[in-house]
Structure 1
Amino acid sequence: MLGFISARQAGLEDPLRLRRAESTRRVLSLELNKDKDVQRIHGSGINTLDIEPVENRYMLSGGSDGVIVLYDLENLSRDPCYTCKAVCSVGSFVLLWLCRRSHPDVHKFSVETVQWYPHDTGMFTSSSFDKTLKIWDTNTLQPADVFNFEGTVYSHHISSIATRHCLIAVGTKNPKVQLCDLKSGSCSHILQGHKQEILAVSWSPRYEYILATASADSRVKLWDVRRASACLLTLDQYNGEKSKASSEAVNTAHNGRVNGLCFTNDGLHLLTIGTDDRMRLWNSSSGKNTLVNYGKVCNESRKGLKFTVSHGCSPEFVFVPYSSTVAIYTIYSGDLITMLRGHYSSVDCCVFQPYLQELYSSGRDGNILAWVPSLRKPEPDDTSEKLPNPHQLNPAYEDAWSSSDDDG
């Protein structure tokens, strides 16, 4: 650590190298934080989490009970043991059961996806099995707009980088991908190509018009929403080898339902998860399967599965719900690093906080668990060891003078 700091001060190292090294160390040492609890509000399983990207302080959760809860993750009490309190909720537990059929603002069925508006904490979105997508004003907790669909809504996503459009991609029981325009308040157009329901959608973090969609028809498609024939690629797990020998050239990404999508932070690769218990890494430009072997990735979910990736590490990691645990893999080599154990039932979603390298997970047990980096343990001789001579740290500290100069 001292060597990194000294080299950075001397201008001999990239300033980001120290940050990458420490970020990587923190991810590799993630453990269940026994001193930090998240207040339990949901009466049943939690399907989705999202941390706002502006301050990385507030977190949303959406549950099978139709409730949406907003938490403050900051420890304002400064006590070592504390609980992250719920700031507010849409459909409190009591209100939910009394008024779930009549209250206009409460989702009537399970909330499948929540997402903050990427540029402002004054707005967030939610979608539900009640066939609606709602745009919420955070200050009033009132819906500013509501989009209604013919089928169950499984997933939605807003681009984090878009400056020339305000489209929300929505995956429903209908095989057509819906694109809703926040500016006009209506569905602008649809994307046709899938044969069954759309279980996951994700905008590219690199190109604002590129969208990835995953379906129960075993296919993953990449779209350019500006084009008339919008489909750019249908990902093929065999990279075209099997279709050459087959009379029917049907490209499938998995041998089962595909219910999870996640781009890497640079947008150059796409991770997918299917009910065939496989996770695959794709080149998002060419559509090629990189053939990274992650082994068996247990996936029992019949709905969308929310997983996430690290940020600023070397190598980068992916955090995947794996039965009642969260598995951590290296993205580009496929190595299983560790399994985070603490939930009592299946985990359905996890979200990464990049500022502090913390991970939050939730599932059918109704708990939200915080995984934080363990404190660096002092070496046995730390108390007696003196600081190293700065001359030994870096050649830049060497002086050019000699003792002969003093004699003159």
Structure 2
Amino acid sequence: MLGLMAARQAGLDDPARLRRAERTRRVLSLELNKDRDVERIHGSGINTLDIEPVEGRYMLSGGSDGVIVLYDLENLSRKPSYTCKAFFSVGRSHPDVHKFSVETVQWYPHDTGIFTSSSFDKTLKIWDTNTLQPADIFHFEGTVYSHHMSPVATKHCLIAGHRQEVLAVSWSPRHEYVLATGSADGRVKLWDVRRASGCLSTLDQYNGEKSKASSETANTAHNGRVNGLCYTNDGLHLLTIGTDDRMRLWNSSTGENTLVNYGKVCNESRKGLKFAISCGCNPEFVFVPYGSTIAVYTVFTGELITMLRGHYSTVNCCVFQPHFQELYSGSKDCNILAWIPAPREPVPDDISEKSLPQQCVNPAYEDAWSSSDDEG
């Protein structure tokens, strides 16, 4: 790292390389932070979390009791130990509280003045953050398991909400009209909302090799319910997870199963499972609720890096804070835990370039000079 910093300072290396290296180091050192608590407000399990993308400061949570809470993640006290306080909550006494479990909360991608929530009470609500009153309420005939607003749309303000047995939805961060959905029938579909027919493709775990697939599993992404999906930040790949205890990585342009093997990914959830992908690392990582733990895998090789342990019950959701490479998780134990990069070891004052490991020294610093006494 010191070699990268010296090369960056001298203008001999790409500045993005140092950023990627430090972000990757921070993710690899994530640990349960004993000095940072998140105020406990929920009286039942936490199903969903979302951090607003504008400042990365405010976090929403939704619980099985229908309660919604907004937290301030910034350490205003500047003390080493602090608690992330709840700004407000839509509690059971609120006149517009959801009657049943809140399954998804999401900030409006461009402004913290609006957020959305959907619930098993068959409603989706648009909230004014300042007044804490619903600006609009949409009523559906069936249960709303999940919803999502496009992070890149400039020509539409559509919210994708599916009823009954569609358990996960996600807009592409690359193409504003493309939507991915996962269903209880094991299928994952890609949609273009501008097309009359709608569906662009149905992902096939066998990549069209029907001879290897039975008629029951042909044109399915998983051999079980698909209850979680998430695009990589560049939108080039899509990760899906199913109750067949498998996670799959897909090329979002071709619909091809990349066949990355993550091993058994335990998934016993009967509803949506919210997992997260890192941003700006090399390699990128995916954080997946795995029973009472969170499994950390490399996205493109499938390697299991570590298991984050700290919850007492099933983890339902996690969200990644890309500005500081922090992770927050919600569980049936009613707790939200903060996973923070371990502090870097202090650098000795007397360190010199010669004391650095050889591989850390940029080749540009190697001595290529010769004195006149050595010549002839």
- Shorter-chain TM-score bucket reads over 0.9
Displacement after TM superposition at 1:377 (Å):
2.6
- Secondary structure of the residue aligned to 2:16 is helix
1:388-407 → structure 2 map (5 Å cutoff): 388=354, 395=364
Alignment of 1:257-406 (within 5 A): 257-378=225-346, 382=348, 384-386=350-352, 388=354, 395=364
Deviations 1:40-97 (A, max 9, x none): 0000000000000000000000000110000000000011110000000111xxxx1x
Structure 1 equivalent of residue 128 of structure 2: 137
Superposition pairs of residues 123-272 of structure 1, within 5 angstroms: 123-173=114-164, 197-242=165-210, 250-272=218-240
Return the offset for 1:8.
Answer: 1.6
Runs of 5+ unmatched residues, structure 2: none
Aligned partners of 2:74, 2:29: CA distance in 1, in Å? 21
Alpha-carbon separation, structure 2, partners of 1:207 and 1:270: 13
Residue type matched to 1:4 in 2?
L
CA distance in structure 1 between the partners assigned to 2:7 and 2:297 by the alignment: 31
Q: CA deviation at 1:248?
A: 7.5
Give the distance between the partners of 1:361 and 1:241, measured in 2 at CA.
Answer: 38
| Partner Cα separation in structure 2 for residue 232 and residue 74 of structure 1 | 42
Matches within 5 A, 1:15-26: 15-26=15-26
- Distance apart, 1:242 and its partner CA: 2.4
Q: Kindly indicate whether the alpha-carbon contact (under 8 Å) linking 2:41 and 2:69 is maintained by their aligned counterparts in 1.
A: yes
Cα offset for 1:16?
Answer: 0.6
- Counterpart code for 1:332: F
Question: Are the equivalent residues in 2 in contact too, given 1:243–1:249 (CA < 8 A)?
Answer: no
Q: What TM-score, normalized to structure 2? A: 0.93
CA contact (8 A) 2:217 2:223 kept: no
Cα pair 2:45 2:63 within 8 Å, conserved: yes
Pick one of 105, 108, 118 that aligns with 1:117. 108
Q: CA contact under 8 A between 1:10 and 1:396: conserved in structure 2?
A: no
What 5-or-longer segments of structure 1 have no aligned partner?
A: 174-196
Q: Work out whether residues 37 and 369 of structure 1, in 8 Å CA contact, stay in contact via their aligned partners in 2.
A: yes
Residues 3, 135 of structure 1: alpha-carbon distance in 2 compared, 3 angstrom cutoff: same
Aligned-partner Cα distance in 2 for 1:245–1:295:
20
The CA deviation at 1:398 is 7.3
Distance in 2, Cα, partners of 1:293 & 1:398: 45
Task: Give 1:244 shift.
Answer: 7.5
Give distance in 1, aligned partners of 2:237 and 2:223. 20
Structure 1 residue 125, shift from structure 2 partner: 0.3
* Distance of aligned partners of 1:4 and 1:348 in 2 relative to their CA distance in 1, 3 Å threshold: same
In structure 2, relative to structure 1, the CA distance for the partners of 1:20 and 1:170 (3 Å cut) is same
**CA shift digits 1:172-226 (9 cap, x unpaired):** 11xxxxxxxxxxxxxxxxxxxxxxx110000000000000000001100000110
**1:68 corresponds to which residue?**
68
CA distance in 1, matches of 2:153, 2:226: 26
Residue 167 of structure 1 aligns with an amino acid whose one-letter code is L
Contact 1:243–1:250, Cα closer than 8 Å, also in 2: no
Distance 1:250 1:2, change over 3 A: closer
The answer to whether structure 1 residue 39 and structure 2 residue 39 are counterparts is yes
Deviation at residue 246 of structure 1 after TM alignment: 5.7
Given the superposition, is the C-alpha separation of residues 377 and 322 from structure 1 closer, same or farther in structure 2, using an over 3 Å criterion? same
Q: Return the offset for 1:14.
A: 1.2
- SS of residue matched to 2:155: coil
Report the equivalent of 2:98.
Answer: 107
CA 1:237 to 1:389, structure 2 compared with 1: closer, same or farther past 3 Å? closer
In structure 2, the CA distance between the partners of 1:21 and 1:142, relative to structure 1 (3 Å rule), is same
The TM-score, its normalising length taken from structure 1, stands at 0.86
The Cα of 1:2 is off from its aligned counterpart by: 2.4
Alignment partner of 1:43: what SS? coil
Task: Name the CA shift for 1:247/1:256 in 2 (closer, same or farther; >3 Å).
Answer: closer
**8 A Cα contact 2:192 2:200, kept in partner:** yes
Aligned residues of 1:221 and 1:234 also touching (Cα < 8 A): yes
Give the distance between the partners of 2:213 and 2:43, measured in 1 at CA: 52
**Which residue in the other structure is 1:189 paired with?**
none
Aligned residues, how many? 369
Secondary structure of the residue aligned to 1:147 is strand
Separation in 1 of the partners of 2:69 and 2:212? 51
User: SS at 2:19's partner residue?
Assistant: helix
* Structure 1 residue 6: Cα displacement: 2.1
- Does structure 2 conserve the Cα–Cα contact (< 8 Å) formed by 1:221 and 1:233? yes
Letter of the 1:44 partner, please give it.
Answer: S
What amino acid sits opposite 1:15 in the alignment?
A: P
What is the rounded CA distance, in whole Å, between the counterparts of 1:24 and 1:15 in structure 2? 15
User: In structure 2, how many angstroms separate the alpha carbons of the residues matched to 1:305 and 1:245?
Assistant: 27
Q: Structure 2 vs 1, CA of residues 245 and 132 (structure 1 numbering), >3 Å: closer, same or farther? A: closer
> CA separation in 1, counterparts of 2:289 and 2:217?
32
**2:203 corresponds to which letter in structure 1?**
L
- In the TM superposition, residue 384 of structure 1 has moved relative to its aligned partner by 4.8
Hey, what does 1:14 align to over in structure 2? 14
Higher mean C-alpha deviation, range 247-256 or range 113-122? 247-256
Q: How far did 1:249 drift?
A: 8.3
**In the superposition, relative to structure 1, how do residues 170 and 6 fare at CA in structure 2: closer, same or farther (>3 Å)?**
same
Instruction: Return the alpha-carbon distance in structure 2 between the equivalents of residues 368 and 249 of structure 1.
Output: 37
1:148 to partner: Cα distance = 0.5
Q: Secondary structure at the match of 1:3?
A: helix
Secondary structure at 1:18 match in 2: helix
Percent identity over paired residues:
78
